[in-house]
């Protein structure tokens, strides 16, 4: 069955296929103003409420394909610096675990992929983010994925290493899973370590909480805003779709990162990295 994205996106409320209309311009302007304000913009019920069940069913079908990876990380994803005091944010490590369902589980029958590849969707996100160079990721394991979060897990405080993320809430856990962020806590020329330390110590003064519901689309600029996903509790899994976009066409992930996040690599990762497969066998 061919998927028509028009049946899933709430185009009555968000006419993202109507470029050039006043409604489109207003929507893009609203997104840009939210992003300029605190780096976060949300399109509530972007996916029609009456169709979200189909997306949940799709996630349920592939959830067991999630590759679990665990590591200990500081908020910068950098190495420990033993010469600094233990309380320094660079030295504070938290357990991170995630289960990414690789993109090759989302084939032509996938609603998530149909949305990701729908030209009006790509154009809308590009316009909202006000990016010049904006392409779908060419990585067959990572272009569109689902992050499956189970009981007890979340995503500890961190700054993103990419400029923005584009995510779709598909299902919440029974409890927890709130998205918390401290807007612009650091800047390109000042790490504001003491303010970062305050948030890590539990000071919620600068922290905003966002409760996303199934079907909400979120654009988030996380490079300067410290953020986390609070641990989920209950039997129900939290599902979030992650759409990746990059600045150059044809990009794929490095073999090391791909193996860590997805548990395997494809020939394209090795070719691009100019590494022979036999060199990687460990
Ligand atoms: O799962 C989410 O809602 C976002 C997680 C996050 O911050 C990230 O992937 O960088
Ligand atoms: Fe993040």
Please indicate, yes or no, whether residues 30 and 104 belong to a single structural domain of this protein: yes
Please indicate, yes or no, whether residues 185 and 270 belong to a single structural domain of this protein: no
Q: In terms of residues, how long is the chain?
A: 282
Report the distance separating Cα 35 and Cα 12, nearest Å: 23
| For ligand 1, mutation pick of 145, 242, 257 (most atoms within 8 Å of CB) | 242
| For ligand 1, mutation pick of 42, 96, 148, 155 (most atoms within 8 Å of CB) | 155
Nearest-5° Cα angle at 10, 168 to 22:
110
Please indicate, yes or no, whether residues 244 and 151 belong to a single structural domain of this protein: yes
Please indicate, yes or no, whether residues 103 and 229 belong to a single structural domain of this protein: yes
| For ligand 1, mutation pick of 230, 240, 243, 245 (most atoms within 8 Å of CB) | 240
Please indicate, yes or no, whether residues 76 and 194 belong to a single structural domain of this protein: yes
The answer, yes or no, to whether any atom of ligand 1 lies below 6 A from the CB of 233, is no
Report the distance separating Cα 165 and Cα 244, nearest Å: 7
**What are residue 9's DSSP bridge partners?**
47
If you search the block for the tokens 């061919």, which residue do you land on? 2
Closest atom of ligand 1 to CA, residue 169: 3
The answer, yes or no, to whether any atom of ligand 1 lies below 6 A from the CB of 240, is yes
Please indicate, yes or no, whether residues 152 and 260 belong to a single structural domain of this protein: no
For residues 33-46, b (16+ Cβ closer than 10 Å) or e, as one string? ebbeeebbbbbebb
By three-state DSSP, how is residue 67 classified? Answer: strand
Report the distance separating Cα 95 and Cα 72, nearest Å: 4
pLDDT of the residue at 275: 58
Please indicate, yes or no, whether residues 33 and 157 belong to a single structural domain of this protein: yes
Burial (CB count within 10 angstroms: exposed 0-12, middle 13-18, buried 19+), residue 2 = exposed
Question: Which residues, given as ranges, of the chain have pLDDT below 70?
Answer: 275-282
**What are residue 176's DSSP bridge partners?**
232
φ, ψ at 216 (rounded to 5°): -80, 135
Report the distance separating Cα 270 and Cα 37, nearest Å: 41
**Number of structural domains the chain divides into:** 2
Report the distance separating Cα 276 and Cα 282, nearest Å: 13
Asked whether 172 and 229 are in contact (CB, 8 A), the reply is no
pLDDT of the residue at 281: 53
Q: Convert the pLDDT of each residue in 238-279 to its tens digit.
A: 999 999 999 999 999 999 999 999 999 999 999 988 754 555
Distance 240 CA to ligand 1 centre (A): 8
Please indicate, yes or no, whether residues 41 and 152 belong to a single structural domain of this protein: yes
Please indicate, yes or no, whether residues 222 and 264 belong to a single structural domain of this protein: no
pLDDT of the residue at 8: 98
Please indicate, yes or no, whether residues 281 and 240 belong to a single structural domain of this protein: no
pLDDT of the residue at 273: 87
Q: How far is CA 242 from the centre of its chain?
A: 5
pLDDT of the residue at 97: 87
Please indicate, yes or no, whether residues 259 and 200 belong to a single structural domain of this protein: no
CATH number at residue 217: 2.60.120.620
pLDDT of the residue at 280: 56
Please indicate, yes or no, whether residues 172 and 270 belong to a single structural domain of this protein: no
Report the distance separating Cα 96 and Cα 160, nearest Å: 14
Ligand nearest to the CA of 243: 1
What pTM did the predictor assign? 0.94
* Residue 267 belongs to domain spanning: 255-282
């Amino acid at each position: 069955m061919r998927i028509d994205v028009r049946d899933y996106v709430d185009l009555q409320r968000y006419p993202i296929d109507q470029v050039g209309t006043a409604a489109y311009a207003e929507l893009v302007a609203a997104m840009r103003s939210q992003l300029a304000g605190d780096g976060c913009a949300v399109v509530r019920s972007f996916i029609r409420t009456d169709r979200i069940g189909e997306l949940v069913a799709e996630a349920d079908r592939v959830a067991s394909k999630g590759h679990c990876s665990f590591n200990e990380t500081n908020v910068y994803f950098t190495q420990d610096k033993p010469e600094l005091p233990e309380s320094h944010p660079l030295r504070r490590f938290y357990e991170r675990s995630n289960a990414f369902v690789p993109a090759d589980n989302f084939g032509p029958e996938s609603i998530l992929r149909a949305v990701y590849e729908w030209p009006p969707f790509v154009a809308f996100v590009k316009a909202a983010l006000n990016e010049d160079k904006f392409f779908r990721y060419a990585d067959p394991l990572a272009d569109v994925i689902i992050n499956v979060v189970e009981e007890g897990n979340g995503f500890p405080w961190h700054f993103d290493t990419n400029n923005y993320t584009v995510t779709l809430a598909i299902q919440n856990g029974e409890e927890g899973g709130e998205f918390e962020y401290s807007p612009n806590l650091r800047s390109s020329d000042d790490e504001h370590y003491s303010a970062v330390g305050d948030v890590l110590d539990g000071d919620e003064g600068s922290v905003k909480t966002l409760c996303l519901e199934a079907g909400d689309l979120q654009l988030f600029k996380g490079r300067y805003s410290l953020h986390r996903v609070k641990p989920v509790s209950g039997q129900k899994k939290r599902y979030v779709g992650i759409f990746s976009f990059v600045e150059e066409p044809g990009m794929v992930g490095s073999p090391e990162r791909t193996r860590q996040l997805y548990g395997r690599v494809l020939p394209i990762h090795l070719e691009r990295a100019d590494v022979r497969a036999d060199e990687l066998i460990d």
